[in-house]
């Protein structure tokens, strides 16, 4: 994700979004919603975009640089889907504020954007530091609709550039029904990592998020394997559960 507080090294000039809505109109309610949710676009940078061949659909992952002056912790990304009616010269849209690029990609994919067409512009934002990050981002982009977001906080302080997200699995039988995602940006190397942890309760997931923001979090607990969750669900009530593994020592 882009830093709104200091420039990234060796980046090219920031791109400005063009929604290509010249001579298009919409009813008053849509126009008001678009102005309120999206605005004119001068503070929006398209990290990814795709346009259908017929020009009807446009999909954007947008970085909103104005958020840094708003409510602390708010998501800095927007997923936007525009639909144009070329015959009537009107448009409609859907938009959602989301904390992570992969979540924005997932939102767009599940509204018809081809998955291979909404990759992030490599010239913008820090690249993934490792394959673990890339694999988790691919999975999140693909199955993001399996989870509902309960909490997020984005901090763009160059000394601790981090985003924490707490998710709830929509399938009550899912292993580790509450997940925490944490994205950390190394502003010296200009790379980012994304990690995932699993929790049994919402309170535990939120407690870890708050601790991370305070700089006191223990390592993320692993996501409970599906096989273990299935075994626990079918274990006779009279048999004791195996003791839970203790997490390793505290993080740096």
* pLDDT tens digits, one per residue of 157-198: 999 999 999 999 998 888 889 999 999 999 999 999 999 999
How many CB atoms sit inside 10 A of residue 40's CB?
10
pTM to 2 decimal places? 0.82
pLDDT digits (tens, 9 = 90+) for 48-88: 999 999 999 999 999 999 898 889 999 999 999 999 999 99
**Mean pLDDT estimate for the chain:** 85
The CA distance from 89 to 185, in Å, is 42
Residue 91 pLDDT > 70:
yes
């Amino acid at each position: 994700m882009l830093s709104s507080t200091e420039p990234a090294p060796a980046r090219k000039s920031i791109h400005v979004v063009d929604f290509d809505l010249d001579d298009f109109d919409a009813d008053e309610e849509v126009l008001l919603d678009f102005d309120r949710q999206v605005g004119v676009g001068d503070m929006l940078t398209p990290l990814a975009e795709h346009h259908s061949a017929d020009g009807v659909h446009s999909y954007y992952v947008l970085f909103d640089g104005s958020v840094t002056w708003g409510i602390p912790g708010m998501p800095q990304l927007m997923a936007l889907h525009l639909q144009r009616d070329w015959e009537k010269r009107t448009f409609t849209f859907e938009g959602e504020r989301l904390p992570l690029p992969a979540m924005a990609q997932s939102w767009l994919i599940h509204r018809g954007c081809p998955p291979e067409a909404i990759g992030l512009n490599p010239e913008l934002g820090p690249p993934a530091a490792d394959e673990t990050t890339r694999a988790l981002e691919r999975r999140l982009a693909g199955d993001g609709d399996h989870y509902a977001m309960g909490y997020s906080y984005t901090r763009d302080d160059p000394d601790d550039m981090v985003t924490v997200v707490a998710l709830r699995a929509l399938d009550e039988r899912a292993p580790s029904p509450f997940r925490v995602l944490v994205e950390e940006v190394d502003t010296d190397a200009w790379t980012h990592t994304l990690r995932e942890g699993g929790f049994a309760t919402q309170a535990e997931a939120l407690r870890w998020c708050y601790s991370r923001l305070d700089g006191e979090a223990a390592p993320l607990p692993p996501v409970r394997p599906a096989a273990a969750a299935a075994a626990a669900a079918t274990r006779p009530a009279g048999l004791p559960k195996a003791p839970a593994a203790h997490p390793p020592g505290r993080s740096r």
